[in-house]
Amino acid sequence: MTVTAVHKDLDALTMRVEAEFPAPPERVWQLWADPRQLERWWGPPTYPATMTTHDLRPGGRVDYHMTGPEGDQFHAYWDVEEVDAPTHLVVYDGFAHDDGRPNDDFPRNRMHLAITAVDDDRTRMTIVTDFPDLASMEQVLAMGMEEGLTAAIGQIDDLLAEDVAAPTGA
Amino acid sequence: MQIAPPDYDRIFGALADATRRDIVRRAVDGQEGISELAAHYPMSFAAVQKHVAILTDAGLVTKQRQGRRKVVRTNREGLRVARRLLDRYQEQWTARVDRMSALLAEDPHEEPPT
């Protein structure tokens, strides 16, 4: 398990996830900066992400959709605020209509990525997200599953359990 | 019967205050009314009443009649809803980090091709 810490700050309404990888910062940055690599970890295997636009510059945009087992898709995007490769990225993550227009019915949330070298071969990645993401995530789960909330929670728990257990294919 | 989905913004908004979180902790036993609760804090009865109202609206506490008085009791299910969502969010990122690790593990390890 490479997640080293998860900190929930109820006063600031943020959650911070810290992880360490046995790789240099430039390599960890590629996981975000290369859309083909991003696609391989952003969504779970059952809801893989496809990046259709990936313009990682301030003011740029990333458009993506996630496709479920029944072929159901939901669309989302990032508005890129700050980029400082290979250490720093700030995006607003929001949901979109099928044609890619932002769907303002759902809140956008800010995601702040920091990548720092711990030593020669280890890199720490820190992600700070606003809590409104939780509400929007719940909405997506309900949307994607087209099930009642309780059923969706059970299914997602199964999804995540499988996801952690399953070896990642090449 | 369709159960209304929890209002997460309201739940987490209510929890974004140290006094209100303390009230939620104290009210687990459901022994105290608003005036007893108010005695724990350097603020007015009205201020504590307002905090309790916010928690009530969020479904995190309920007011219950106990004999002649009303006590504030934590709604464990309301807390569980918040807890579950946070856990799930944490699991989502744990799973992502695992996938990132797996990708990095595919990299060749400084062994020149033969």
Question: Does a structural domain hold residue B36?
Answer: yes
pLDDT number for residue A132: 60
- Which residues 25-84 of chain A have a CB within 8 Å of chain B? 27-28, 31, 37, 40-42, 44
B101–A21 CB contact, under 8 Å: yes
A144-153, B23-32, B33-42, B86-95: which range is least confident on average? Answer: A144-153
- In a domain, residue B112? The reply is no
The per-residue pLDDT for B4 is 52
Q: Is pLDDT above 70 for B54?
A: yes
Q: Which of A2-16, A86-100, B21-35, B87-101 has the lowest mean pLDDT?
A: A2-16
- Whether B82 maps to a domain, the answer reads yes
Q: Which domain CATH number covers B41?
A: 1.10.10.10
Q: What is the pLDDT of residues B5-45, one digit of tens each?
A: 567 778 878 887 888 888 988 888 889 999 999 999 999 99
Q: pLDDT value at position A143?
A: 41
Q: Which residues of B touch A157 (CB under 8 A)?
A: 88
B80-114 as b/e, with b when 16 or more CB fall inside 10 Å? ebbeebbebbbbbbbbbbbbbbebbeeeeeeeeee
Domain regions of chain A by residue span: 3-165
- Residue A73 makes CB contacts below 8 A (sequence gap 6+) with A65, A66, A67, A98
The answer to whether the CB of A26 falls within 8 A of the CB of B103 is no
pTM exceeds 0.95: no
> In DSSP terms, which residues pair with A94 in a beta bridge?
A77
| B3 found inside a domain | no
pLDDT in tens, A91-114: 998 888 888 888 877 667 889 999
DSSP class of residue A102 equals B
Whole-complex ipTM: 0.74
A18 in contact with chain B, both atoms CB, cutoff 8 A: no
Domain that holds residue B74: 8-105
Query: Is residue B27 in some structural domain?
Result: yes
Query: In CATH, what number does A3-165 get?
Result: 3.30.530.20
B41, part of any domain: yes
- Would the CB atoms of A10 and B92 count as touching at under 8 Å? no
- Are the Cβ atoms of A164 and B15 closer than 8 angstroms? no
Whether residue A82 has pLDDT greater than 60: yes
B77 lies in some domain: yes
Q: Comparing A168 with A115, which gets the higher pLDDT?
A: A115
Structurally, how many domains does chain B consist of?
1
Per-residue exposure over A75-89, b if at least 16 CB sit within 10 Å of its own CB, e if not: bbbbbbeebeebbeb
